Amino acid sequence: MAACADGELELNAEENCHGRSTDKPRKHDSGAADLEKVTDYAEEKEISASNLESAMSVIGDKRTLEQSAKQEREKELAKVTIKKEDVELIMTEMEISRSTAERSLREHLGNVVEALVSLTE
Same domain, 61 and 89: no
pLDDT score, position 21: 54
Q: Are residues 92 and 113 in the same domain?
A: yes
For residue 114, give its domain range. 80-121
Asked whether residue 73 falls in the same domain as residue 84, the answer is no
Q: For residue 3, is it within any domain?
A: no
Question: Are residues 67 and 97 located together in one domain of the fold?
Answer: no
Q: For residues 84 and 70, state if they share a domain.
A: no
Q: What is the DSSP string of 34-102?
A: HHHHHHHH----PPPHHHHHHHHHHHHHHHHHHHHHHHHHHHHHHHS---HHHHHHHHHHHT--HHHHH
Q: What is the tally of structural domains in the chain?
A: 2
Domain identity same for 71 and 85: no
What pLDDT score was predicted for residue 26? 59
DSSP code, position 21: B
The CATH number of the domain holding residue 96 is 1.10.8
- Check whether residue 112 and residue 89 sit in a common domain: yes
Residues 73 and 90 reside in one and the same domain: no
- Best-predicted range by mean pLDDT (17-26, 46-55, 78-87): 78-87
| Residue 29 belongs to a domain | no
Q: How confident is the model at residue 31 (pLDDT cuts 50, 70, 90)?
A: low
Mean pLDDT along residues 70-83: 91
Q: Residue 55 — pLDDT band, cuts 50, 70, 90?
A: confident
Residue in 72, 75, 98 with CA at minimum distance from that of residue 87: 98
Higher pLDDT among residues 42 and 28, named by residue = 28
Residues 58 and 92 in one domain: no
Q: In this predicted structure, which of 40-44, 84-88, 108-112 has the lowest mean pLDDT?
A: 40-44
Identify whether residues 58 and 84 lie together within a single domain. no
